[in-house]
A and B are shown apart, each in its own frame.
Chain A
Amino acid sequence: MLEALVYGAIAALISGTVLPLLYRSKNTRKTSFGLSLLSSILLLGFAGALLYTGKEPVFPPIRYLPGLDFTLVADRLSAGFILLIAAVVPGVSIYSVEYVEHAKSEAGKNLQTALTNLFILAMLMVVLAGNMVIFLIFWEIMSLSSLLLVLHDYSSEENKKAGFFYFVMTNISTAFLFVGFISLFRLTGSADFGPLEYSASELALPFLSLFIGFGVKAGLVPFHKWLPYAHPAAPSSVSALMSGVMLKVAVYGFLRFLLSVFTPELWWGVLIITAGSLSALFGVIYALKENDIKRLLAYSSIENIGIIFTGIGLYVIFKVEGLESLALLSLAGACFHAFNHALFKSLLFLCAGSIVHATGTRKIEAFGGLVKTMPATTALFMIGSVSIAALPPTNGFAGELLLYQAFFQSFAVTDPLLTVFLITALSSFALTGALAAALFVKLFGITCLALPRSEKSRLAEEVQKPMLIGPAVPAALCILAGLFSKQLLSFAGWEIEFPDLLLLGLLLGLIYAALFLIIRSKETSPARISETWGCGIPTLAPHMEYSSAGFSEPLVMIFKNIYRTKIVHKAEYHDKQESLFKNGNVEIRLLRFFEEYLYIPPARAIESFSKYVSSLQNGKLDSYILYAFLAVIVLIIATGGFV
C-alpha cells in the first residue's frame, strides 16, 4: 500500500519531466507543476505513515546488472527527509507556475519546468537509494539538473562563471564520494548500506572522504564558495529547491553513512562540530557584509548548514560518550533544524524572487519601503525572517531549542577538555544565533521598511497570486511546525522533554489580544500623522536613512580581523612632490580569504598542469600511436609482475 504512494510520486515526477519536453504550452507547464504538487502530496502521506507507524515498506529489487540491484529502501531517516522534500515542493511548484513565465524564451520556460521536475525526482531518488551505486547515479543526475538550472540564463557572463564554479565544485564533491565508496567497497565487497565492523584506522579514509564529499555539496566552510555564486544565478524557485532541499540531501547522505554504516569515533565528532561551528560563524559574518539579497541568503544557508552539522557532531560525541538520551536530542535537533531550514529558506528565496522580480535589482540598498508597495510579500518575508532568526514561537526557534538543550545538559560529559570544547562550541553557537538575528533585522528593515531607496523600489508592484500562494505554504508551515513542534516530535517518535510552544504561542496571542482590546477601548483621542523627526530638516529623504552597509558597520568593525578589509589608495598628483592632488580613489576591499588562499592556488596549479598535458596533444597521428605503444608496454610490465 505504502509502496504504491512512492511509485505514484515517481510516476508523476517522470511525467512532469517528460510532458513539457513534448508540448510547448502554458497549460503543459501548469500540468507539469500540478504533477509535482501531486507527487509531494503522495510523498507526504507516505512519509507521515512511515514515521507514525514505523513500519518499513519493502520494495522488490529490480535486477539490471548481475550483482547490483536497483533497490529502494525507506526507513525512518529517509522518511524524515522525504517529509522535508514533500514540505518544500508544494510552495515551489505553485510559485513556479507564474514565476517560470518570466523566463525569456518559450523553450526556456519548458526546459526549466522539465528540469525542475527532474531535479525533484533525482533528490527523491537519492534519499530512497538502497545502495551506493544507485545513490551515486541519482546524485549525479541531481547535480547535473541543478547545474543546467543555474545556467538557465547562460548569456550573462556572471552566470557562466557561476555555472562553471558550481560544476567544478560539484565534481569535486562527487570525486570524494567516489573515493569514499570505493574504499568502503574494498573493505566489504558490497555496495549496500550496512553496519561495518572494522578498526578505526581503516575507516578513517572512507569517513574523511565522505565528509569532504558531502561537505562540499552541503556548503561547509571552507568548501562553501560555490553557494554564493550559484544562488544569485539560479532562478529563485530553483534557489529555493537547492538551498532548501539539495543541501539537505547532502546532509541526508552524510547521516545515512554515519548512522547505518559507521561506528563513530570521538575525533569525528570534534571534527564535525569544528567544521559546523566555523561554517555557522563565517556564514553569518559574511552574510552581514553582503549587499545582494540572494547572495546574502546563500551565506545564511551556509550558516544553517553549520548549525545542522553542529547538531550531528554533538550526536557523535554523546554517542561515543554513551549518553544516549542526549545523543537522541542532538540528532533530533539536527534533523528538525534541517526540516525547518528547508521551510524558511525556501520561503525566503521565493519572497526574494518576488522582490527581485518586482524591482528588477538584487541590491538591498536599492530596496526600501516595500511594506507599502508589496504588503503581502512583505508579510510573508516577515514570517521567514522571524523564523530564521530563531524567535519563538516559530519553527526556527524549536530546532535551535533542541540543540541548546543538548548543549546545556552536555556538562554530563566527564572529560573536562571535552567540556571546554563544548563550551566553546556553545559560545560560538550563541554568537551565531544573535548575529543571525542582527542579519535579518538588517535584511528585513532595509528591504521593506522606511522610504524607498530607489525609483525601482518606489514603483514596485505586488506580484501575481500564484507567487503569493506559493510562499504562503511554507510560511504557514513555519508557524505550524513551530507551534506544534512538541506534537510533531512525538509524532515522529522522538519522546523528548521539550517545552510546549503551542502553549507559549497561545499565551502570547491571548495577552496580545487582551492588551490590544484594553488599550483600544480606553483610547480617547485618535492617532495623528506627522513627519519623522530629523533635527529640523523639512522632509526626510531616502539617502538620510541608515543603509545596509551602515547597519552592519559596527559588526564589521568588531570582527575586522575576520573580514580582513584592505584599504587601497590610488592617487595621481600634478607634481612630483605629490602635493597637488589631481584625482584618485580610495576603496575598502573585502579580502576574499578563502578564494584567494584556498581556491585560486590549486586552480592555477591545475591550469598549468593542463597546459602541459595539452602540449602533449599535438594532433600528430604518429605521436598518438607512440603514446598507445608506451601505454601497452607499461601495462605489460605492470601486470607481468616485473615491478
Chain B
Amino acid sequence: MNTSFLLFALLNPLFALLAAPLYMALIRKVKAYAQGRRGPSLFQVYYDLRKLLQKEAVYSPTSSWIMRFTPYLNLSTLLVCSLFVPLVFVPEPAGGIGNIIVFLYLLALERFFTALGGLDAGSAFGGMGSSRSMSLAAVIEPTMVVAFAALAFVLKSLNLHQMFALNAGTILPISPTLVLVSISLFIILIVETGRLPVDNPATHLELTMINEAMILEQTGTNLALLELAHALKQFLLMGILINTILPVGLSTEIDAGKIAVSAFLFLLKAGLLAIIIGLFESALAKMRLFRLPAFYVMAFFFSALTILIEVFA
C-alpha cells in the first residue's frame, strides 16, 4: 500500500459513484430526443435515487435473507470494482487490485446474487429474469474473456492499471488493434448493461424484460442500491472502453491540476460515449431471445479475429 494508491482508493470510487447516475440519465435523454420527446431532466436519476432511499422496503413473506443481502452485496462489489478501473488517474498497482480476471469475476458475483434475488420471491417473472440472464451471460462469456484476453495481450499486462498506464499519455491508442478490441468492448458494454438489442431497460412488459424482471420485487432502499450498482457497472465498463480507445488526458501522476483535467476530460468522453449508446439504442429494435446467441457468435467471431490478427500478422 502506498500513498498514491490510497489517494486513488478514495478518489476513484467517489468519482464513479457521483458521476455514474448522470450517464444513465444522459442516455435516456438522447433516446428521448431521438423519439422526438424532451425527456426527463439530466438529474432525474439522482432525484429518483433520493426518493427511493427515503422509502421503506417491502418484502414478500416468501423471500429470505438473500433478498436483503443482495442489494448491499451488489453495491459493495461494484464499489470494489471501481478500484479496478482508473478514471481520475492511474496509481501504482497494489496487491493485485486491477487484475482483469478478478474484475470479470466480481461482475459474475454481482450477477449470481442478482439472479438468486430474482428467484427468492417465488414470482414467475423473477425466475424468468434469472433464467434468461444467467443463460445469456453464459453465452456471452467466451466473447468477454477473449476480448479481455486480447486487451491484456495488446497492452502486455494482466492488470488494468498497468495496461492503462501504458496506454495513457497518448492521444490515440498505441496499437490499431485496440480499435478492434474497443468494438468488442462496446458490444460487451451493451450486453452487460442490458441495453437494446439484448434487453430493453425501459420496459416493464413482462415477456421482454430480463434485468428488470430480476429486480421486480426489490423496493425502497434496496432498489436504490441496486439501481446505483447498475449505473456504476455501466460507468466502469464505459471507463474501460474509453481508456482503451481514447486515453487522451489520463494522468499517471498525482498532481491536483492533472487529476482535475483527467476527471473533467473523462466526464466529457463518457458524455460522448453515452450519446453514441443512446443513438445506437434508438436505431435498433430488440432481438428475439433465441436470435441473440447468433449475435453473440458474431461478437465472438470479431474478438477471436482480433487475436488472430494480432498473433498472425
Using CB atoms and an 8 Å cutoff, list the residues of chain A in contact with chain B. 369, 371-372, 386, 389-392, 397, 401, 404-405, 407-409, 411, 416, 419-420, 423, 426-431, 433-435, 437-438, 440-442, 444-446, 449-451, 486, 498-501, 503-504, 507-508, 511-512, 515-516, 519, 522-535, 540, 542, 544-546, 550-555, 557-558
Contacts and interface: CB of A to CB of B under 8 A. Distances in A.
Contacts of A516: 72
Nearest to B139: A558
B134 A545 contact: no
A530 B58 contact: yes
A337 to B, nearest CB: 14
A182 B312 CA distance: 44
A416 B311 contact: yes
A409 B158 contact: yes
A553 to B, nearest CB: 7
A640 to B, nearest CB: 63
A555 B133 CA distance: 11
Contacts of B293: 558
B227 interface: no
B135 A554 contact: yes
Interface string B195-231: 0000000000010000000001100110001000000
Contact of A551 (B58, B77, B131): B131
A499 B123 contact: no
20 contacts: A371-B66, A372-B64, A405-B158, A411-B310, A416-B312, A423-B304, A426-B142, A427-B146, A430-B141, A431-B141, A438-B137, A438-B138, A441-B119, A449-B64, A450-B120, A511-B79, A524-B56, A525-B55, A532-B123, A551-B130
B106 A392 contact: yes
Given A449-B116, A503-B96, A527 B307 contact: no
Nearest to A531: B60
Contact of B109 (A371, A392, A500): A392
A540 B127 CA distance: 13
A427 B142 contact: yes
Interface in B114-169: 115-116, 119-124, 126-128, 130-132, 134-142, 144-146, 148-149, 152-153, 158
B73 to A, nearest CB: 6
Contact of B127 (A419, A528, A533, A550): A550
Nearest to B307: A423
B216 A533 contact: yes
Interface in B53-91: 53-66, 72-73, 75-77, 79-80, 83
Interface stretch (B97-105, B170-178, B237-245): B97-105
Contact of A545 (B64, B72, B127, B300): B127
Contacts of A503: 95-97
B108 interface: yes
Contact of A512 (B73, B148, B217, B308): B73
A558 B64 contact: no
A431 B116 CA distance: 20
B146 A532 contact: no
Contacts of B217: 532-533
B59 A529 contact: yes
Contacts of A420: 308, 311
Given A420-B308, A499-B96, A508-B80, A450 B109 contact: no
A429 B145 CA distance: 9
B121 A546 contact: no
B75 A558 contact: no
Contact of B102 (A392, A438, A553): A392
The winner among A430, A504, A508, A512 for most chain B CB atoms within 10 A is A430
B108 A434 contact: yes
Given A423-B304, A434-B137, A500-B96, A553 B131 contact: yes
A430 B130 contact: no
B119 A446 contact: yes
A519 B56 CA distance: 11
Contact of A450 (B100, B122, B145, B307): B122
Nearest to A427: B142
Contacts of A532: 60, 62-63, 121-123, 217
Contacts, number: 238
B233 interface: no
A554 B289 contact: yes
Given A532-B123, A535-B206, 17 more contacts: A411-B153, A426-B146, A434-B140, A441-B112, A442-B131, A444-B116, A445-B127, A450-B120, A508-B80, A515-B225, A530-B58, A532-B122, A534-B124, A545-B122, A546-B124, A558-B290, A558-B293
B137 A498 contact: no
A386 B95 contact: no
Interface residues of B, number: 82
B97 A431 contact: no
A484 B177 CA distance: 37
A284 to B, nearest CB: 9
Given A420-B308, A532-B217, A512 B139 contact: no
Contacts of A431: 138-139, 141-142
B294 to A, nearest CB: 10
B155 to A, nearest CB: 11
B111 interface: yes
Contact of B111 (A392, A437, A444, A553): A437
B142 A430 contact: yes
Contacts of B146: 423, 426-427, 430
CB-based closest 5 A-B pairs: A499-B96, A546-B127, A450-B122, A434-B141, A445-B119
Nearest to B120: A449
A398 B136 CA distance: 24
Given A511-B76, A533-B217, A552 B311 contact: no
B112 A428 contact: no
Contacts of A558: 135, 139, 290, 293
Nearest to B310: A411
A430 B144 contact: yes
A528 B58 contact: yes
B282 to A, nearest CB: 27
Given A441-B134, A445-B119, A545-B127, A528 B57 contact: yes
Contact of A401 (B102, B132, B311): B102
B116 to A, nearest CB: 5
Given A392-B109, A531-B60, A437 B124 contact: no
Given A441-B134, A507-B80, A511-B79, A534 B123 contact: yes
Contacts of A444: 116
A76 to B, nearest CB: 25
A555 B289 CA distance: 11
A392 B78 CA distance: 13
A6 B221 CA distance: 57
A204 B200 CA distance: 55
A405 B124 CA distance: 39
A515 B131 contact: no
Contacts of B56: 523-528
B165 to A, nearest CB: 17
Nearest to B296: A558
A445 B115 contact: yes
Contacts of B58: 527-530
A96 to B, nearest CB: 29
Given A503-B95, A531-B61, A550-B127, A427 B300 contact: yes
Contacts of B290: 554, 557-558
B106 A540 contact: no
Most buried by A among B77, B119, B206, B221: B119
A401 B103 CA distance: 11
A95 B75 CA distance: 37
A530 B122 contact: no
A441 B60 contact: no
A232 to B, nearest CB: 25
A150 B241 CA distance: 54
B145 A507 contact: no
A533 B60 CA distance: 9
A317 to B, nearest CB: 15
B223 to A, nearest CB: 12
